[in-house]
Structures are given as structure tokens and as C-alpha cells.
Amino acid sequence: MEKTLEELAVLVEGAVAGDGSVLITDVAPIDEAGAGDISFIADSRHLKLLAGTKASAVIVKEGTILADGLNLLLVKNPQFAFARVVEVLRPPVLPPTGVHPKAEVAEKAILGQDVSVGPFSVIEDGAIIGDRAVIYPGVYIGRDVLIGTDTVLYSGVSVREGSVIGKRVIIHCNSVIGSDGFGYGFEGTKYFKIPQRGIVRVEDDVELGACVTVDRAALGETVIGRGTKIDNLVQVAHNVRIGTDTVIVAQAGIAGSTRVGSYVQLGGQAGLAGHITVGDRVTVGAKSGVTKDIPDGRTVSGFPAIAHTEWLRAQTVFSKLPELKKTLQVMLERIEALEAKSKKD
């Protein structure tokens, strides 16, 4: 695939500064790009890299001054524009449509048009697969599951019975949707299992990384809201509800029945206790433990999570604790000496 810089400018609604007829054949990082490559710079702090790049063109923010001999593509959002260019110059390679002979599709399953089902995949009775969905090898789709149009399930994904997956959803390898929630009670001398009879609903344009687990609700629904992006190795427990366009980073965990708002950012290894509410546009720092409700718009860190600015001040003190302990001990000894002297006088 190849395009002129002017053609790419039309695609991303940008403007060319330099030679619009230069031919672009590939994409590359700014410090590795060569002739025929296009790269991008999203942060003004990295503009110094323009001087040394060998790229044929660079996508930059509007208002950037032209570097001598370098072709620029000026746009409002360089990162967004670059993503669109990558889709054109390196389009995704999807498997051919049709059902592989080694796949097992139940008689009462319904497949839409131009669906691809890879070998060793299993689709149970009552499942409905939308148009142009891609089911890679080794995927399991349980009874009465609904898979939306243009959704992609990579190898090893399991979508358990009754789950609903929206349109344009991407689920990466070995993720499990609809496993039983961790629900147990105690009777006498042993635990008993509380039946998990709800479902999982994953709304449109969600992406789930590898080895993500989303538990079905005990009753009702566990919901992943539209446009939410979840990194690898994240646990979402039963009856959790996550809003729209939220980002959850690797190894985070959300306990049962917690509500997470829209446009939330959860850092890596963050943990949320059960039955709490995290408001919209909240940011939770990496490794933080959230044990109570957080209002809209707050940024928190630490365990238990507190306001990020307070946590930063606490961290500066933490490193000084050994020195402060010694100082305190010296002060105590002096106070005791003064009190002893005062009693003698």
C-alpha cells in the first residue's frame, strides 16, 4: 500500500507543509524512519527529533514551523491522525470468511453474513453471530450468546452462556466472559455456592486485552460500558457496572457490585473494594487500594486511597522516617533529662 502525502492529508483532514507529492509506503518511529516512511510527534517536547529524522514526512500539530527539507503533515491531533494512516498503510489481515471444516457450529446457532469461524472453535445452540464477525481458532461461544457485527474474538476466548457482546468489540486471546462470580456463603462448617444466574453485557466498541476475566452477575448483569478499554490481566467481578470510555490498566481488580463511572482511569494493579461507587472522570493511581466511594473528578493514590496531592506529601515524609525517628529519640532523651533535673532542683 502506498499513498502520496497529499492523499494522506485528505484522509486525516490535515495540511501539507512541503512536498505533497512525496510517496509514502510505510510507517515507523521517528528515530527509526527512513525514506518512504511517515512518522509522528504528538508532544512538543520531542520536536527536537525532527532535526535528525530520515523520514519522508512527519505528522505534527498545527502551527509547527517547517524544518528545512522536511515534509510535514499538520493536523489537530497527531496521534489520532497517525492511527488512521497506519490503518491505510498497514491494513489488518483477517482470516477468510466462512466456517472452517474443523469448527463445530450447532444446528440452532445463527451466523450472519461474511462471518469467519476458525478451526476448533465451538458455537453452541442459540448463539447469534453478527455480520462480519471474526472467530479465531479455538474460541468457545456458549448457548444463547449474542455477538455483534464486526466483532473480533481471538484464539482461546471463551464467551459463556447468555452473554451479550456488542458491535465492533475486540477481545484478545484467552479472555473469559461470563465465568461464575465468586459468590459463597457459610453454613455450619463449610462454604456453599451461591448460584450465579445473571449475564455479562459488553457494549459496543469495547476492547478487552489478553487474559481478562469478566464474571457473570449473580442476578441481573455485569456491564462493560461502550468504548471502555481494558488492558491484559484485569479482573471484573460479578455485578460490576463500568461506564463509557473508561480505561483500566493491567492487573487491576474490581470487586463485586462496584460501580465505576465514565471516563475513569484505573492505574496498573489498582484494586477497588466491593459495593462502592467511583464517580465519573476519576483517576486512580497505580497500586492504589480504593475502599470507599470517590466523588466525580477526583484523583487518588495510595492505600487506602487518598487525594493524590496528599499522597505525594506523605511520600516525601515516608523516606525521611528513619531520620525523623532518630531525631525524635534524641528529643525524648533530652526531655527526660530536663524533667529529671527539674525534679532534683
Q: Tell me if 296 sits within 8 A of 277, measured CB to CB.
A: no
Task: Look up 275 and say whether it is catalytic.
Answer: no
Can you tell me the distance from the alpha carbon of 230 to that of 27, in angstroms, rounded to the nearest whole number? 26
Evaluated on CA atoms 120, 126, 132, 134, the torsion sign reads negative
Active-site annotation holder among 172, 238, 275, 308: 238
Instruction: Tell me how far the alpha carbon of residue 327 is from its chain's centroid.
Output: 46
Distances (CA, A) of 298 to 71, 210, 271, 283, 305: 42, 29, 16, 6, 11
Hey, what long-range contacts does 74-80 have (CB within 8 A, 24 or more apart)? 74/14, 74/15, 74/16, 74/17, 75/12, 75/13, 75/14, 75/15, 77/42, 78/40, 78/41, 78/42, 79/40, 79/42, 80/12
**Any idea what DSSP says for residue 202?**
E
Q: Which ranges constitute the DSSP H helices of 62-107?
A: 78-89
Please list the active-site residues. Answer: 238
